[in-house]
Amino acid sequence: MANTIASRVYRDKYRSDTIASLLRGAMVTEAITQVDRSNNKRIQSPYGSTPTVVVQALAGTYTPVDFTTTDEALDVTDEFIVSEHVMDFQDMLSKFDLFASRTEQMAFNVAKKIDEFVLNNLTEDGTGTYTTPAGGFVTPANVSVIFSNIVSQLSGYAEGYWGNMYVVLENTDMVGVIQARATNGFVSADDVMNNGKVDNYLGVDIYVVRTGTFTDATVGTKTWTNSGHRVAGVKKISTVAMPGGVKTDEKKVSGKTGMEIVTYGLIGYKHWTPTLTQTIDITLA
């Protein structure tokens, strides 16, 4: 029998390792949010109220005060699933490893969908706002102005967020960013001219997704209106829950040869109230 227990174990390990590496490598979500893969369906807010510092004449006395926590929680409410059936003749007659190809493609599509879900929720929930000059990011002259405004909004916090700021753009926005980077400074210009490297501007890390990621849509239990918007903010101040991570299963189906492959997982998202101002909903003008 070809599909012995031992060979099936190897296939399961291959799927698990492939999905884990592809998701972590492909997802913007991993870089800018806290990702919780524990089996908790409910996660409480990690933020409390800001302590108040009292300055007084020398006395040596103090009055302790109560602090409050924000009574909110992250609930896992959505699941994402992609499934296909690979017929035996398709697999047998292919000139490449069809199983491996479909597993990798499913993982990439799952990563893309998770990013779409999280990035649009970030944009929808952030209470920081900014409208770009006419032409948005595609106009090179606007780029320094836009990034300096992002830095201005996110600077000055006691926690020291410098170096932990980000912006997420669509690939069509990069025209102006590349030209601006290529004509400003020496080291950064060399990186662009020699290597096409554009990963940071004025201390803000740049992440790029495909055009059409920011949309007006209802996906699962969430609704957003983000067409013509982008998002910037401070990293790791919102939480994405993925209990158990992303899983793949394959099974025989009655009446069909080959195997049915399904990749699935649960997802929850929460932008905690005390940090909402540190995510900027950018409107393209």
pLDDT in tens, 154-199: 987 756 555 589 999 999 999 999 888 877 654 444 444 343 446 8
Q: Which pair of structure tokens corresponds to residue 108?
A: 């990439």
Longest distance between any two alpha carbons in the chain, whole Å: 86
Each residue's pLDDT tens digit, 56-77: 899 989 888 877 766 788 888 8
| pTM of structure | 0.79
Top-confidence range, 48-57, 89-98, 269-278: 269-278
Closest residue by Cα to residue 32 from 224, 244, 284, 232: 232
For residue 20, is pLDDT > 70? no
In CATH, what number is assigned to the domain containing residue 82?
3.90.1690
| Domain with 33 in it | 5-283
Q: Which of 259, 245, 267 has its CA nearest to residue 19?
A: 245
Residue 167's region, left for phi above 0, alpha for psi from -120 to 50, else beta, is: beta
Higher pLDDT, 133 or 20: 133
Task: Name the 3-class secondary structure at 37.
Answer: coil
- Tally of domains in the chain: 1
The residue written with tokens 């096409």 in the block is 196
